[in-house]
């Protein structure tokens, strides 16, 4: 690998130099007013990015997995029912966590490449007349397959069923890069991390709680200590943490939210959509398709590209690292060996994306795939120059 090259894994993402320097700071007293000047702006910035005005927001020193555990342990009781669809590796992992906590999980298995089945969820919730299901899990952007699901449609389905379950959303690879509407979508707990759209190293789990979720936390009985939002809230009230915080990362998060808001969230989302369209255009030029089964499911942060049958897609990832010093994402779980992933989120530009597309072409040509060098680059250039979209090209 080379420190000179950008990474094209779907997280951790490239770190802007200004944010890297913000994280590199002297030791301060994390119970001093100086820390308060980092803590509260970081929390406010995160809420603005998630479009959350109600409820409370918490930042734990952890990865997104810690955010999953925060959601469960602060709101649910042993044996509670949970409804979830398994359509990729990360939805699978959250389901596994629920089962380890002794929760009663109703799992809807979905083909990897498809989105969350809102209509099926509505049927299940309508049938749950005794209200045994206390939470619905939703992976907004399934990082393993490059599939984005419609959270607003899921909320409408829950409302149509007249069900009172909490809505938990994994936004780890979407928040900060794709539009996320905590308030408008009726999200009860949103989970994300520092290492993707926020352009930081891994190490912060960011969790938004609605008022309804906060109320649930006051009577639930799953055990928690490190993940207690009550302890965290008390710490914030004293401009501190219940334990030692990751001060450098918090300082970086403060700057990251400032940078995103200064660029303008609509501009951030448009940049990601444009770059993603260029990557998809390249895949079509290679006569390869995204793992996502339809254009409405295409992610703007990661594209999982299906390679020809009989070819081990993992060879692309290993050859790129060994021969060109560049990192792409390998296939996971049910699509291992069938796809390679190009992450295009966080600190990413059109020109950076072109370097990844060009390198992928060289790798595939080296490995004997029938790739015309320059075809994918040219297709992406047409998107970046003229604004045509890969999705329109695919329909032609």
Domain ranges of the chain: 17-261, 265-395
pLDDT (tens digit, 9 = 90+) per residue, 94-141?
999 999 999 999 999 999 999 999 999 999 999 999 999 999 999 999
Distance CA 264, CA 243 (A): 34
* Residue 2 confidence (pLDDT): 77
Is the pLDDT reported for residue 37 higher than 80? yes
Q: Which fold has domain 265-395?
A: 3.90.1150
Task: Name the pLDDT band for 388 (thresholds 50, 70, 90).
Answer: low
For residue 274, count other CB atoms closer than 10 A to its CB: 17
Total-model pTM:
0.95
Work out whether strand 329-330 and strand 302-306 pair parallel, antiparallel, or are unpaired.
Answer: unpaired
Confirm or reject CATH 3.20.20.70 for domain 17-261, answering yes or no. Answer: no
Task: Name the pLDDT band for 321 (thresholds 50, 70, 90).
Answer: very high
* Residue 390 confidence (pLDDT): 45
């Amino acid at each position: 690998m080379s420190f000179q090259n950008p990474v094209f894994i779907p997280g951790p993402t490239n770190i802007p130099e200004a944010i890297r320097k913000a994280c590199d700071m002297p030791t301060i007293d994390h119970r001093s007013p100086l820390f308060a000047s980092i803590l509260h702006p970081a929390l406010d910035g995160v809420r603005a990015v998630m479009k959350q005005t109600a409820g409370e927001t918490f930042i734990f020193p952890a990865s997104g997995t810690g955010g999953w555990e925060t959601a469960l342990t602060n709101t649910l009781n042993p044996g509670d029912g949970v409804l979830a669809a398994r359509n990729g590796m990360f939805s699978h992992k959250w389901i596994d966590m629920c089962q380890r906590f002794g929760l009663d999980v109703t799992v809807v298995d979905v083909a990897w490449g498809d989105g969350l089945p809102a209509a099926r969820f509505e049927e299940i919730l309508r049938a749950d007349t005794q209200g045994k299901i206390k939470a619905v899990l939703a992976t907004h952007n399934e990082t393993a397959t490059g599939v984005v699901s419609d959270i607003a449609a899921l909320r409408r389905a829950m409302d149509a069923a007249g069900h009172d379950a909490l809505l938990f959303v994994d936004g780890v690879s979407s928040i900060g890069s794709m539009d996320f509407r905590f308030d408008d979508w009726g999200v009860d707990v949103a989970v994300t991390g520092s290492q993707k759209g926020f352009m930081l190293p891994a190490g912060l789990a960011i969790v938004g709680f609605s008022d309804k979720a906060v109320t649930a936390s006051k009577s639930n009985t799953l055990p928690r200590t490190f993940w207690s939002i009550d302890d965290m809230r008390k710490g914030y009230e004293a401009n501190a943490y219940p334990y030692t915080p990751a001060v450098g990362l918090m300082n970086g998060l403060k700057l990251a939210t400032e940078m995103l808001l200064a660029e303008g969230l609509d501009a951030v989302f448009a940049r990601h959509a444009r770059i993603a369209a260029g990557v998809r255009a390249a895949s079509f030029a290679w006569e390869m398709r995204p793992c996502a089964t339809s254009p409405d499911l295409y992610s703007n942060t990661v594209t999982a590209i299906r390679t020809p049958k009989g070819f081990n897609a993992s060879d692309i990832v290993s050859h790129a690292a060994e021969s060109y010093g560049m990192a792409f994402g390998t296939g996971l779980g049910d699509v291992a060996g069938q796809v390679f992933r190009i992450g295009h989120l966080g600190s990413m530009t059109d020109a950076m994306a072109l370097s990844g597309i060009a390198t992928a072409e060289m790798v595939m040509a080296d490995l004997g795939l029938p790739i015309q060098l320059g075809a994918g680059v040219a297709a992406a250039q047409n998107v970046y120059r003229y604004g045509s979209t890969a999705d329109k090209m695919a329909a032609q």
